[in-house]
Amino acid sequence: MIPVAADLVPVVGGVTEGIGLPPDAAAPAMVTAAAEPVGASPMLVPGTVLLLTVDGDAVGIRLDQFVVRHAGGLSRSAVARAIDAAGVRVDGVVARASLQLKAGMVVAYTVPEPARAGPEAEEIPLDFLFLDDVMGAVNKPAGMVVHPAKGNWKGTLAGALKWHLERVAGGLSTVGGPTRPGIVHRLDRDTSGVIIVARNEEAHHALARQFERRTTEKTYLAVVQGEPRFDRDEINLPIGIHPYQRERMAVRRDHSTSRDAVTRYEVMKRFGRAALLKVTPKTGRTHQIRVHLASIGCPVLADVLYSGRGVVDRSFLGLRGESAPLLTRQALHASSLAIDHPSTQQRMLFEAPLPADINRLLAVLSGE
């Protein structure tokens, strides 16, 4: 929900501007044509909302360019962070940076928290599947956030990488900025398995290009609720930001945030009320596997966002026995990733064994 904003007032230069205040502010503020540039205003504290109405020479430009141009003093990186965090809305709807603006649209920009200097190096054990001077592969445990973000500044993979590779062994890529040292791609917090890291800028770009061009081969194992109708299938449904819950994604067609998404799956074993799937995403959208499997009526077990249940026990699966939880996080594991080495161009395959909690769940489902 956007905080209450001031009345809109005209400003020269193809935009109408207003400023809204965070909920704990004492009084509303306004910007008039004679006021100082917006960027110089003392009201631009985190949580402040700028209301910008598209007009004149602002029509037809990209959303990110528009915000940088008309919210004076705000850096491109600050605007990019805000858009990525759903902190920019157009006519009340979260939008992509590339959206071309039309006359009369109202852009609401929530000023984000300033970027932090980066995670502190933390002595956290890591399971390295591979490591050399230019790249590494880590078996990320469930429950570990990949990089710092609001509410998760400690215990991250990025902080652990700084301890193991930057502080001791010599370096990590800085392409992702200070909060994402070495981070090339991401896994959700409660998804375990293979994740690739880069140790210098050249390696980072070479690895990132492969993800962008979809030449990597990613395989996941998922235990889902219910059984898919088909033994193998392809789910080809666009994914965008959920219309009401910002932390969720959803199957959405013909929306400004919608992106093509393709997921293939194969049933490895059926258990009646659950099934083990091998999943190969062909695109890399946020929460893609989780959204797609939920869309066919088989959400990932213990996926609180998309199944509505964050804990699975025997009774839920129709099994007898003790009522202790069998799983308390989504049953999704990045089991393998194939990618070309950035220096030698040799095809590398990294594999991470199933973690103990999912192995235990499968043993119970198999009657062992």
User: Which residue type sits at 94?
Assistant: V
DSSP class of 62: B
**Closest Cα to residue 252, out of 264, 240, 270?**
240
pTM as predicted: 0.72
- Within a domain: residue 284? yes
Looking up residue 196, the CATH number of its domain turns out to be 3.30.2350.10
Cβ proximity of 289 and 239 under 8 Å: no
Q: Range of 226's domain?
A: 217-365
Element containing residue 196 per DSSP (H, E): strand 192-198
Most confident of 164-178, 313-327, 329-343: 329-343
Give the pLDDT of residue 329: 97
Most confident of 34-38, 52-56, 79-83, 226-230: 226-230
Cβ proximity of 304 and 313 under 8 Å: no
Give the pLDDT of residue 295: 97
Q: Are residues 278 and 181 in the same domain?
A: no
Q: In which band, very low, low, confident or very high, does the pLDDT at 344 lie, cut at 50, 70 and 90?
A: very high
Q: Are residues 329 and 295 in the same domain?
A: yes
Cβ neighbors of 80 (< 8 A, separation 6 or more) are 64, 97
Q: Are residues 21 and 142 in the same domain?
A: no
Q: Are residues 20 and 106 in the same domain?
A: yes
pLDDT at 166 over 90: no
The mean pLDDT value of the chain amounts to: 84
- Supply the residues annotated as catalytic: 188
Distance of alpha carbon 349 from alpha carbon 212, whole angstroms: 18
Distance of alpha carbon 44 from alpha carbon 17, whole angstroms: 13
- Within a domain: residue 122? no
Q: Are residues 225 and 201 in the same domain?
A: no
- Within a domain: residue 117? no
Count Cβ atoms below 10 Å from residue 109 Cβ, excluding itself.
Answer: 27
Higher per-residue confidence, 130 vs 35 = 130
- Within a domain: residue 157? yes
Q: Are residues 104 and 146 in the same domain?
A: no
Q: Are residues 71 and 173 in the same domain?
A: no
Q: Are residues 273 and 234 in the same domain?
A: yes
- Within a domain: residue 264? yes
Distance of alpha carbon 102 from alpha carbon 54, whole angstroms: 7
Of 81, 110, 139, which residue is a domain's last?
110
Q: Are residues 168 and 288 in the same domain?
A: no
- Within a domain: residue 115? no
Give the pLDDT of residue 151: 67
**Closest Cα to residue 223, out of 286, 142, 293?**
293
- Give the pLDDT confidence of 133-157 residue by residue, as tens digits: 999 999 999 999 998 876 667 899 9
Strand pairing category for 332-340 and 192-198: parallel
Distances (CA, A) of 181 to 112, 162, 184, 300, 340: 21, 7, 9, 30, 21
pLDDT at 22 over 70: no
- Give the pLDDT confidence of 93-122 residue by residue, as tens digits: 888 888 889 999 999 888 776 666 678 899
Residue-wise over 14-31: b if at least 16 C-beta within 10 A, else e? bbbbbbbbeeebeeebeb
Q: Are residues 101 and 152 in the same domain?
A: no
Of 212, 234, 267, which residue is a domain's last?
212
- Within a domain: residue 4? no
Of 212, 241, 274, which residue is a domain's last?
212
User: What is the number of structural domains in the chain?
Assistant: 3
Cβ neighbors of 144 (< 8 A, separation 6 or more) are 155, 156, 157, 160, 189
- Within a domain: residue 174? yes
Q: Are residues 178 and 227 in the same domain?
A: no
Give the pLDDT of residue 45: 72
